[in-house]
Chains A and B, each alone.
Chain A
Amino acid sequence: MSTERKPVTDPRTGEPLPQRAQPGYYSGFKTLSQQAFWDQATRDVVLRRVEYVPPIRFFNEQEAATMLAVVDRILPQEDRLPSTRIPLLPGLDERLFENRLEGYRYEDMPPDQEAYRIAARAFEAMAQELHGQSFHLLPTLQQEEILQSIHDGKPLAASQLWNRMNVERFWMLLVSDCCAAYYSHPWAWDEIGYGGPAYPRAYMRLTEGEPEPWEKGEQRYQWSPPADTLSGAAQPPAKGSAHQSHPGQAGTH
């Protein structure tokens, strides 16, 4: 990224915190260290995710530059050392290239591939319209103002493009895709203290948050998001907005 990004800070002093190989409160926890106790099929899937970064095939160069900047704001990683940042765009690009679906499409949405193409153009168009510059070259705050308006369902510009879809649904699609890429990665599991694959390894300490012998207890520290971000605080959706419907059912009952 050509633009300077501000670091996360210590809330007590306001001083920048150093980048970490592994942010989060489970220092020293490594799910990958357990891979000898995973089954072969799972090991293959998870290791491929770590070792193989698919090439960008769906997005063209311009779209890829824009979308890279977008996903970097959806899940920013400036607190991580550059070598341990989790690539998000290649996974999204691969899904779109292979047209892997979630099993449905809202009637007020174009197909996923089309939605992303429109969005990539729209983000760039918004940047040009508002700031006369490419989206990926904008400073954090200006990028996030644009994203925030999509989150709110009220695009600041490029409305003729955004009119072609339900903007709130697109936002949920985008955030979901980014989260799926980030939180499927073992480095993210280490960050949040999630145990990862568990067959045939199994769990024996089921209650009261007790760690398994190979897990770690929590070692909390304080940090604040960078000063120039809009995404630092929760933004509960207004009642009746599309957020109160369903971003895909994976994961519960």
Chain B
Amino acid sequence: MTSDFLYRLDTSPRALVKLLPQVVRPPADVALQHIQSGTFQRSMSLLVMGTSAVSGLEVAYEHYRGSYSNPIMYTPVILSGVLSIAGAAAFFSRRMARTFLRYTSFLTVVDGLIGFGFHIRGVQRKPGGWRLPITNIVMGPPIFAPLLFGTSAYLGILASYLQREEDFGQQKIKLESAGNGLHKTDWREDIRTGRFQKHLCVVTAVGTLCSGGEAFYSHYKDNFKYRVQWSPLIVTPLLAGAALGAFASETCANTLLPLAAGAAILNGVAGTFYHVRGILSRPGGKKKPLYNTLYGPPIFAPLLFSAAGMLGMLAYLMRRERR
């Protein structure tokens, strides 16, 4: 019976890694063990450094497009830089990871939330305000961008609670945050030990919906001129659904989630290709690189979609919370 076969087919990361060819199996196995036991602070910090640099670049040019008309628009640019440095520092120092990276990440998330408020206000202040919701969301400040901007800070927070690679195998239980030992909060312990699949699923779903929302209205602005512009809108419900399903069911986390996450990652990569091509085919093409990057298809947007897929993939690799 096919269904019986499927039922018994184990697609958990631990099972799949065994199917890998001999050459890559050992490093993959090690990586997976580190991920599942929460000992990848240094790798995660590097990732934070990278993503933060990219989102800093993006917000710098997006806000340039908004002419830095309000000085507060500099804050995400500065914070991204600081967060990137914090990521690098956290790579080298455990202390930096637990202090500098953590506080910078929280601050950046707060900045993203404030930005979200400002972007909503920006839409509201456009002529016609919410009476013209579609036009004003499409033409106003990108409403979900500040939340997506928080993604790397969110990774930074995760990183700051993880154990370091060298801690692998040494089951240190000391809780750094619970100085007085009175309130031991479980989520931190879960992160420390690599048990945050469900939590990550929720974040994946939110990130996917925001990113998909952005894709929808930007492609709508473009009148869905190319059929491929619908693709992120097909993947969005898939991944958001899979992530929410994975929250409820481990089977879903081991099957649908990695498939949908993989699709989102690939879709984002393909999208980047199309966006670059779109920029080059604008009037002036390569002769107007800055202007066409500014007003062509947003070059980093598909990568944000990939980032949501990556979160989903990470969730797939994690262990589930005990509860």
Contact = CB atoms under 8 A, between A and B. Distances in A.
Given A37-B128, A37-B132, A204 B225 contact: no
A202 B135 contact: yes
Contacts of A213: 134
B223 A200 contact: no
B223 A201 contact: no
Nearest to B138: A204
B95 interface: no
A97 interface: no
Nearest to A213: B134
Contacts of A211: 223
Interface in A195-234: 199-202, 204-205, 208, 210-211, 213
B181 interface: no
A199 B136 CA distance: 12
A199 B127 CA distance: 8
B132 A210 contact: no
Interface residues of B, number: 14
Interface residues of A, number: 11
Contacts of A200: 126-128, 131-132
A84 B103 CA distance: 69
Given A37-B128, A200-B127, A200-B128, A205 B223 contact: yes
A201 B133 CA distance: 10
Interface in A8-57: 37
Contacts of A210: 222-223, 225
A214 to B, nearest CB: 10
Interface in B66-121: none
A201 B128 contact: yes
A106 B43 CA distance: 80
Nearest to A199: B127
B123 to A, nearest CB: 12
The residue in B138, B223, B225 that gathers the most chain A C-beta atoms within 10 A of its C-beta is B223
Interface string B158-195: 00000000000000000000000000000000000000
B132 A201 contact: yes
B128 A205 contact: no
B14 interface: no
Contacts of B131: 37, 200
B139 interface: yes
A65 to B, nearest CB: 47
A198 to B, nearest CB: 10
B25 interface: no
B277 to A, nearest CB: 15
Interface string B220-233: 01110100000000
A25 to B, nearest CB: 18
Interface in B190-233: 221-223, 225
Nearest to B134: A213
A210 B221 CA distance: 9
A202 B134 CA distance: 11
B132 A202 contact: yes
A103 to B, nearest CB: 30
A210 B225 CA distance: 9
Interface string B136-172: 1011000000000000000000000000000000000
Contacts of B225: 208, 210
Contacts of A202: 126-128, 132, 135-136, 139
A205 B134 CA distance: 12
B95 to A, nearest CB: 50
Contacts of B222: 205, 210
A211 B223 CA distance: 8
B221 A201 contact: no
A10 to B, nearest CB: 32
A208 B221 CA distance: 12
Contacts of A204: 135, 138-139, 221
Contacts of B132: 37, 200-202
Closest 7 A/B residue pairs (Cβ): A200-B128, A200-B127, A210-B223, A204-B138, A202-B135, A204-B139, A204-B221
Interface of B: 126-128, 131-132, 134-136, 138-139, 221-223, 225
Interface of A: 37, 199-202, 204-205, 208, 210-211, 213
Given A37-B131, A202-B136, A211-B223, 9 more contacts: A37-B132, A199-B127, A201-B132, A201-B135, A202-B139, A204-B135, A205-B222, A205-B223, A208-B225
13 contacts: A37-B131, A200-B126, A200-B127, A200-B132, A201-B128, A202-B126, A202-B128, A202-B132, A202-B139, A204-B221, A205-B221, A205-B223, A210-B222
